Amino acid sequence: MKRNHFYPIVILIGLVLFSSCKKDDPADGPKDPQPSSSSAQKFLLLNYNSSNALGPGAYISLLEIKNGAPVITKLNDFYPLANLNSNVDITKNRAVMGLHSDFNTNGTSRRTVGVWFDVPSTSTSELPLLPAGTGRYAYFGSATGKVSENGNIFYLSCSNDASYHDQYRAALVRYNPSSSVLEQAQHPDAFILAQPERGWDTETGQYKGDFYPSPDGRYVYGVIEAFGVDGGSLHWDYEILFKYDFQTQTYTRLGDAEDSHVLILGITSDRTQVFYNSQIGSVSKKKIVNTATNTTKPVTITGGQGYKNTSRWNANGYCSGESNRTIGVYDVINDSKHNITTQADPNYAQFSSGGDAIYFMLKSSQNNYLCKTSNTSASAKIDTVCTLSKSIYEFMVVK
């Protein structure tokens, strides 16, 4: 793959979609669907190949509703390592994607590459990686790509040796597509070794894959895990929240002093509150921390699945399609939760670009139905936006 390689536009006119919504039996999809009032929202679609599999021939397309009818435009011949939810991030129409290992990686599952593109452009550019070093190879952290509102792209540029015997190395980088400048964050060794939890043989630290940039692209919020080597074996000592400043090249610790074993769970869409879990002895505590003031607040609500992706968040919390025919709406700011009832188990629940409605998919044996809530309250009504063919594996809201 070469950077700045351009792909032709292919327009697929409504043959893979049905242009109108019809009444179905409850077992087959939404009953008495109503047309959606929101036509400006765009969606990425992940399309199966001709064998109905995510393999060579799968591709990414754009779904738009124009004059009440769905239109799909093929964007590129790429597909992610696992799925859109795990390997794609979109902000201000700019998307970053960790690709499947079928793309110029000689079938090596770990040797992944990343690309970025602006929706709905069909031109796609490969993201640069840091030099791997002698005897090593470089790869893109396929689930780590994030985009800030100012257009910068953040990810882990990783390396390993061909035999996998050596501990992998990952660097946090910021890439500016406008200037083609790639910046590497300072290594976290000095920061991690300055913490009070440091043990006698704690030696270094590394980034965990879940992190988020600030809107202006200056800061990154995430988790670093510390480890050492004892008798030839690795042991993990502690995990702490961090805030990194690319302008001053400095780290700041986030959270409470007791937070020495941390799992980051997500971040509000305005990037003001990080939601995380802190394991203190045998007790697990969920909290939010303000990214500007470093003040924390406990959160008692639990539940949801797959909520680390930014598409599932608005300024108050996250949403989750659940197995009891409901969408869970989790407000971490006000520590409250309510459900929206759906006609079948919802798939891939995500907030709209404005955060005031939720899109999700219902699946039947024949079709997939893209649906939308009228708002985010428990009494929200359900509209059917359009009917999708079974060749569509997954969708993602373009934000």
Identify the residue with better confidence: 137 or 12: 137
CATH number (2.40.10, 1.10.3470, 2.60.120, 2.60.40) of 84-184 reads 2.40.10
Is-contact 124 76, C-beta < 8 A? yes
**75-98 as b/e, with b when 16 or more CB fall inside 10 Å?**
bbebbbbebbbebbbbbbbbbbbb
What kind and span of H or E run contains 362?
strand 358-363
Three-state DSSP at 190 gives: helix
For residues 392 and 362, give the distance between their C-alpha atoms in angstroms, rounded to a whole number. Answer: 12
Q: What is the mean pLDDT of residues 18-45?
A: 51
Phi-psi region of 195 (alpha: psi -120 to 50; beta: other; left: phi over 0): beta
Using the predicted structure, report yes or no on whether residue 37 has a pLDDT greater than 50. Answer: no
Which H helix or E strand runs over 189?
helix 189-193
- Closest C-alpha to 76, from 138, 120, 131: 120
Q: Residue 48: pLDDT band by 50, 70, 90 thresholds?
A: very high
Helix (H) or strand (E) holding 86: helix 84-87
Tens-digit pLDDT profile for residues 318-345:
999 999 999 999 999 999 999 999 999 9
How much is the average pLDDT of 178-194?
94
Sheet containing strand 336-341, strands side by side: 317-322, 326-331, 336-341
Q: Cα–Cα distance between 83 and 100 in angstroms, integer? A: 9
Q: Report the distance separating Cα 316 and Cα 275, nearest Å.
A: 11
Cα–Cα dist 35/70, whole Å: 11
Q: How far is residue 153's CA from residue 90's CA, in Å, rounded to a whole number?
A: 10
Judge whether residue 378 has pLDDT over 80: yes
**How far, in Å, CA of 26 to CA of 8, rounded?**
40
Assigned token pair, 363 = 């699946």
Average pLDDT value over all residues in the chain: 87
Of residues 319, 352, 312, 354, the one with CA closest to residue 337: 319
pLDDT for the residue 281: 84
- Taking residues 195-221, report their average pLDDT: 89
CA–CA distance from 24 to each of 30, 349, 388 (Å)?
6, 21, 14
pLDDT band for position 202 (cuts 50, 70, 90): confident
pLDDT in tens, 64-95: 998 878 999 999 999 999 999 999 999 999 99
Strand partners, 290: 273
User: How far is residue 333 from each of residues 94, 268, 349, 350, measured CA to CA in Å?
Assistant: 27, 9, 20, 18
Domain residue ranges of the chain, discontinuous segments joined by +: 1-79+309-399, 84-184, 188-299
pLDDT over 60 (residue 219): yes
User: What is the pLDDT, as a whole number, of residue 229?
Assistant: 65
Strands 250-254 and 233-245: antiparallel
Predicted confidence (pLDDT) per residue in 246-284, tens digit: 999 999 999 999 999 999 999 999 999 999 999 988 899
Q: What is the DSSP string of 256-302?
A: -TT--SEEEEEE-TTS-EEEEEEEETTEEEEEEEETTT--EEEE---
CA distances from 371 to 62, 115, 195, 368, 380 (A): 16, 29, 48, 10, 12
Query: From CA 34, how far away is CA 303, in angstroms rounded?
Result: 30
Token representation of residue 183? 């910046």
The pLDDT, as a whole number, for residue 81 is 92
Query: Rounded CA gap, 199 and 368, in Å?
Result: 53
Of 34-38, 198-202, 326-330, the one with minimum mean pLDDT is: 34-38
